C-alpha cells in the first residue's frame, strides 16, 4: 500500500451543509465510502484463478496422454492426484512436521521482527546500527547457509527454525519500521499537546498506524516461511514435506514429488488466507480503508 | 483568569520567526490572530501549546508560568484516526491524560448532541463529512477542559458554504459554553464575525502590528455582515494586512 492511497481515504466525503442542532433535519447515517471493487464477492475473486489452474491442468493432462510421456519424467495430473491419494497417510505424516517447523520458525521470526522494529523506532542509534545489518542479512545465500545449519545444529528443529526466521524476519521488520515511520508528525504534536510523551505517541499513533503495512509484510513473509521450511528440510531432516520430496525424487517417483508440491501450495495458500482472518480480528478498520 | 504573552521570541537556527510577540487574553474572550502566510502564527501556537520552547519571553496565567495543561490545541488537520471510532477519537486527550476509558467516553458522549454528532459515536471518521470531522476534532479539544482553546485554521479546508455554517455554529456554541478562544485564520471576515479582538501580526519576524476591537453585540448572526461597524472593521484589517510589507 502506498502513502498516496493512505491519505486519500482521509479526505472528507462530498461537502454538504453540516447538520447544525436546531436547524434543518439530518438525513441519517452517511454511507461508508466503498469502491465497487471492494465489494466483489468471494466467488468472484476465487473463480478466475481456479479456472486458469483447471485449464492448465487440462492442457497438461492432454499433452501427457497425447505424447505418451513416461510418468517418471512427467506424470499426468490425474496420476499425481491418484497416487497422492493412495499415499495420503504418508503425505499427511510429512505435512505435520513441516507445519510445526513453519509455525515455530514464523513465531520466532515475528518476535525478532517486532523487537527489532520497536527498538529501531525508539532509538536512532539502533536504527543506524541495525538497518544496514538487516539488509545485509538478506544477501546471505540461503542455499549455502542451510546445509551449514545442519552441520552446526543437527537434524532437529533448531536449524530449520533458524532458516525460516532468517528468510522471513526481514519483510516483517522492514514492514513495521516503515509502518511506524509513516505516522503523521503533526499527530505527534497533537499527542504532546495532550500531555503525552514518546510512549503515548507510539501507543496511540505509530503502533496502530503501522498495522496496514504490518499485515502486508505478514502476507509476504508467510509465503516465504513455507518455502523456507521445505528448503530447510530438503537439505536434511527426519520427516517433513521437504525431505519427502528429496527421497521420492531419488526413487524417481515424480508423481509423489508433485503431490507433495501440491500439498505445499495448498498449505501456503491456506496460511496466506489466514492472515486476512487475523487482520479482520485484530484490525477490522483496515478492510474499509484498503482499496 | 488572564493569559499574558510577554515578549515571546523564537528563532529556528538563524531564522527569526517571532520577534517579541506580546498580548493578553481574558476569560471568555475570543481573540483571532491574522497575519500574512508564513509569518509565524502556527509557531506562536506551538509556543502556547508547549511544543516550541521560546528563546525569550514568557507565557503566564495570572502571573504564573503557564503549563501545557492550560491550552487545548486543535491543529489544522483534523487528525482523526481511522482505527478509532468517532467517540474514541474524541476521548484521545482524556485517555492520554490517564483517565479511564469508560469515564472518558461518558464525558465525551455528553457533547455529541451539542456538536451535532449524535448518532455517529460508533462511526468511523471516514463516514463523516468535512464539517463533521472538524466538529469531532473540536470536541476532542474541548472535552479536555483546558482553559483556553487554540484553534489553528479549523475551517481552512472546508468549502465556503460549510465554512459559513461552521462559523455560525461556533459562534452559537461558544456563547453557550463560554469558552476562551484563540483562533488562527486567514479569513478576515471569519475573524471579525467571531472575535472580540483581532490581532494582526507583521510579516516575519512577527510582532503584533495592530489590535482591532470588534464591538458588535452577541450572539451574532449572518445579518451582522452588513453592519457598518462590521464593514469598517473588515476594511481596517484588510488595509493593515495589505500594508504588511511596510509594518
Helix/strand/coil for B208: strand
B116 is a domain residue = no
Residue of chain B with shortest Cα separation from A18: B131
Read off φ and ψ for residue B4, nearest 5 degrees: -120, 125
Chain B CB contacts of A9 below 8 Å: 82, 126
Residue of A nearest to B85 (CA): A285
Domain with B10, as residue range(s), is 2-82+147-246
Res A13: pLDDT = 38
CA distance A196 to B96: 6
Predicted local distance difference test score (pLDDT) of residue B244: 54
Pairing of β B30-34 and β B56-61: unpaired
- Residue A26, helix vs strand vs coil: coil
- Preceding peptide of B219 cis, ω within 30°: yes
- B94 found inside a domain: no
Q: Which residues of A125-156 are buried (b: 16+ CB within 10 A; e: fewer)?
A: eeeeebeeebeeeeeeebeebbeebbeeeeee
Sheet holding B71-74, edge to edge: B71-74, B148-152, B180-184, B30-34, B197-201, B208-213
On whether residue B20 sits in a domain, the answer given is yes
Strand B197-201 vs strand B64-65: parallel, antiparallel, or unpaired?
Answer: unpaired
Contacts of A32 in chain B (CB under 8 A): 124, 126-127
Does residue A1 belong to the interface with chain B, where contact is any CB pair within 8 Å? no
Q: What does the block give as the cell for B9?
A: 521570541
Mutual orientation of helices A157-181 and A142-153 as an angle, nearest 10°? 130
Pick the CATH number of A75-289 from 3.30.465.10, 1.10.3720.10, 3.40.50.300, 3.20.20.240: 1.10.3720.10
User: B140-176, pLDDT tens digit by residue?
Assistant: 999 998 989 999 999 988 888 899 999 999 999 998 8
Three cell numbers, residue A64: 501427457
Look at residues B138, B64, B146 and name the one whose alpha carbon lies nearest to residue B97: B146
Q: State residue A288's pLDDT score.
A: 66
Shortest Cα distance from B175 to chain A (angstroms)?
14
A188 touches chain B (CB under 8 A): no
Instruction: Answer whether residue B48 shows pLDDT above 50.
Output: yes
| ipTM value | 0.89
The answer to whether residue B6 is domain-embedded is yes
H-helix segments, chain B? 41-48, 86-90, 92-96, 101-112, 130-142, 160-177, 188-194, 228-242
B93 contact residues in A (CB cutoff 8 A) = 194
Query: Looking at the predicted structure, is the pLDDT value of residue B247 above 60?
Result: no
Note whether residue B237 is domain-resident: yes
Does A12 contact B128 at a Cβ distance shorter than 8 Å?
yes
Please, which residues 191-230 of chain A have a Cβ atom closer than 8 Å to chain B? 191-196, 200, 204-205, 208-209, 211
Record: contact B162-A14, CB cut-off 8 A: no
Question: Alpha-carbon torsion B185, B188, B193, B199, what sign?
Answer: positive
Domain residue limits, chain A: 75-289
Residue with cell 496420476: A79
> How many other C-beta atoms lie within 10 A of the C-beta of residue A280?
11
The closest alpha carbon to B154, from B187, B177, B126, belongs to B187
Ranges of chain A whose pLDDT falls below 50: 1-36, 291
To the nearest whole angstrom, how far is the Cα of B98 from the nearest Cα of chain A? 9
Chain B residue numbers with beta carbons less than 8 Å from the beta carbon of A196 are 96
Is B133 among the domain residues? no
Residues A64, A67, A69, CA angle at the centre, nearest 5°? 60
Out of A9, A14, A194, the one facing B92 most closely (by C-beta) is A194
Q: Do the chains contact at B83 and A211, CB–CB below 8 Å?
A: yes
Assign residue B199 the CATH number of its domain.
3.40.50.300
Instruction: Give chain B positions within 8 Å (CB) of A30.
Output: 123, 127-129
Cα torsion B107, B112, B118, B119 to 10°: value is -50
Q: How many independent structural domains does chain B possess? A: 1
Sheet with B64-65: strands ordered across: B15-26, B2-12, B56-61, B64-65
- pLDDT exceeds 70 at position B183: yes
Task: For residue B232, tell me if it sits in a domain.
Answer: yes
CB B47 within 8 A of CB B8: yes
- Helix (H) or strand (E) holding B151, with range, is strand B148-152
Tell me which of B73, B75, B76, B83 to substitute to probe the interface with A (most A C-beta atoms closer than 10 Å).
B83
Give the DSSP H/E element, type plus range, for residue A55.
helix A42-67
CB contact under 8 A, A195 and B69: yes
Is B93 among the domain residues? no
Contact A15 B161 (CB under 8 A): yes
Count how many Cα atoms sit within 13 Å of the Cα of residue B64 in the half-sphere of its side chain.
4
Cell numbers for A226, please give them. Answer: 513455507
Minimal C-alpha gap between A156 and chain B (Å): 42
* Strand-pair category, B208-213 with B197-201: antiparallel
A17–B161: do the CB atoms touch at under 8 Å?
A: yes
Residues above pLDDT 90, as percent of chain B: 49
Strand pairing report for B56-61 and B2-12: antiparallel
Banded pLDDT at B219 (limits 50, 70, 90): confident
List pLDDT tens digits, range B102-152: 999 999 999 999 999 999 999 999 999 989 999 999 999 999 989 899 999
Q: In this complex, do B165 and A209 lie within 8 Å of one another by their Cβ atoms?
A: no
Is A29 in contact with B169 (Cβ distance < 8 A)? no
Q: Which of residues 19-58 of A touch B (CB under 8 A)?
A: 19-21, 26, 29-33
pLDDT of residue A22: 38
| Residue among A29, A183, A190 with most chain B CBs within 10 A, to mutate | A190
Q: CA A186 to CA A209: how far, in whole Å?
A: 14
Q: Cβ of B82 and A289 within 8 Å?
A: yes
Across chain B, mean pLDDT equals 89
Please tell me the predicted confidence (pLDDT) of residue A267.
Answer: 94
Please tell me what DSSP assigns to residue A123: -
Q: Which of A17, A21, A191 sits opposite B114 (nearest CB)?
A: A21
Looking at beta carbons, which residues of chain A come within 8 Å of B76?
186
Any chain B CB within 8 A of the CB of A283? yes
Amino acid at each position: 500500500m502506498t502513502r498516496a492511497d493512505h491519505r486519500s481515504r482521509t479526505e472528507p466525503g462530498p461537502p454538504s451543509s453540516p447538520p447544525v442542532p436546531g436547524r434543518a433535519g439530518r438525513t441519517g447515517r452517511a454511507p461508508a465510502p466503498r469502491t465497487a471493487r471492494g465489494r466483489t464477492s468471494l466467488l468472484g475473486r476465487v473463480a478466475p484463478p481456479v479456472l486458469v489452474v483447471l485449464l492448465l491442468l487440462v492442457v497438461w493432462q492432454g499433452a501427457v496422454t497425447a505424447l505418451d510421456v513416461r510418468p517418471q519424467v512427467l506424470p499426468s495430473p490425474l496420476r499425481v492426484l491418484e497416487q497422492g491419494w493412495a499415499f495420503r497417510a504418508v503425505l499427511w505424516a510429512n505435512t505435520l512436521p513441516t507445519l510445526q517447523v513453519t509455525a515455530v520458525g514464523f513465531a520466532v521470526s515475528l518476535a525478532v521482527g517486532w523487537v527489532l522494529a520497536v527498538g529501531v523506532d525508539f532509538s536512532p542509534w539502533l536504527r543506524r546500527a541495525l538497518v544496514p545489518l538487516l539488509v545485509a542479512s538478506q544477501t546471505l545465500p540461503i542455499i549455502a547457509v542451510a546445509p551449514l545449519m545442519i552441520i552446526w545444529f543437527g537434524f532437529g528443529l533448531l536449524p530449520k527454525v533458524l532458516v525460516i526466521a532468517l528468510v522471513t524476519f526481514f519483510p516483517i521488520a522492514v514492514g513495521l519500521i516503515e509502518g511506524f515511520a509513516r505516522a503523521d508528525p503533526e499527530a505527534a504534536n497533537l499527542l504532546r499537546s495532550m500531555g503525552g510523551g514518546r510512549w503515548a505517541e507510539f501507543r496511540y499513533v505509530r503502533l496502530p498506524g503501522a498495522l496496514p503495512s504490518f499485515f502486508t509484510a505478514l502476507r509476504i513473509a508467510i509465503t516465504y516461511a513455507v518455502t523456507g521450511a521445505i528448503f530447510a528440510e530438503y537439505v536434511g531432516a527426519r520427516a517433513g514435506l521437504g525431505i519427502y520430496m528429496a527421497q521420492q525424487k531419488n526413487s524417481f517417483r515424480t508423481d509423489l514429488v508433485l503431490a507433495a508440491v501440491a500439498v505445499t501450495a495448498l498449505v501456503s495458500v491456506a496460511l496466506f488466507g489466514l492472515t486476512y482472518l487475523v487482520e479482520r480480528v485484530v484490525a477490522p478498520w483496515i478492510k474499509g480503508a484498503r482499496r | 483568569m488572564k493569559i499574558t504573552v510577554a515578549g515571546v521570541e523564537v528563532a529556528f537556527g538563524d531564522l527569526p520567526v517571532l520577534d517579541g510577540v506580546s498580548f493578553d487574553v481574558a476569560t471568555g474572550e475570543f481573540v483571532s490572530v491574522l497575519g500574512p502566510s508564513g509569518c509565524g502564527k502556527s509557531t506562536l501556537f506551538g509556543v502556547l501549546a508547549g511544543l516550541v520552547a521560546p528563546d525569550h519571553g514568557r507565557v503566564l496565567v495570572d502571573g504564573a508560568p503557564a503549563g501545557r495543561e492550560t491550552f487545548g490545541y486543535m491543529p489544522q488537520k483534523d487528525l482523526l484516526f481511522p482505527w478509532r471510532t468517532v467517540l474514541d477519537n474524541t476521548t484521545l486527550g482524556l485517555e492520554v491524560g490517564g483517565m479511564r476509558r469508560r469515564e472518558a467516553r461518558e464525558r465525551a458522549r455528553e457533547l455529541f448532541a451539542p456538536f451535532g454528532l449524535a448518532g455517529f459515536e460508533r462511526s468511523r471518521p471516514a463516514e463523516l463529512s468535512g464539517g463533521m470531522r472538524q466538529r469531532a476534532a473540536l470536541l476532542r479539544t474541548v472535552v479536555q477542559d483546558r482553559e483556553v482553546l487554540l484553534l489553528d485554521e479549523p475551517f481552512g479546508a472546508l468549502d465556503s458554504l460549510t465554512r459559513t455554517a461552521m462559523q455560525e455554529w461556533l459562534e452559537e456554541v461558544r456563547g453557550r459554553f463560554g469558552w476562551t478562544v484563540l483562533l488562527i485564520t486567514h479569513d478576515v471576515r471569519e475573524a471579525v464575525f467571531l472575535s472580540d479582538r483581532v490581532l494582526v501580526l507583521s510579516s516575519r519576524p512577527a510582532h503584533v502590528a495592530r489590535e482591532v476591537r470588534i464591538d458588535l453585540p452577541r450572539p451574532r448572526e449572518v445579518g451582522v455582515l452588513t453592519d457598518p461597524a462590521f464593514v469598517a472593521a473588515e476594511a481596517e484589517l484588510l488595509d493593515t494586512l495589505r500594508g504588511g510589507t511596510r509594518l
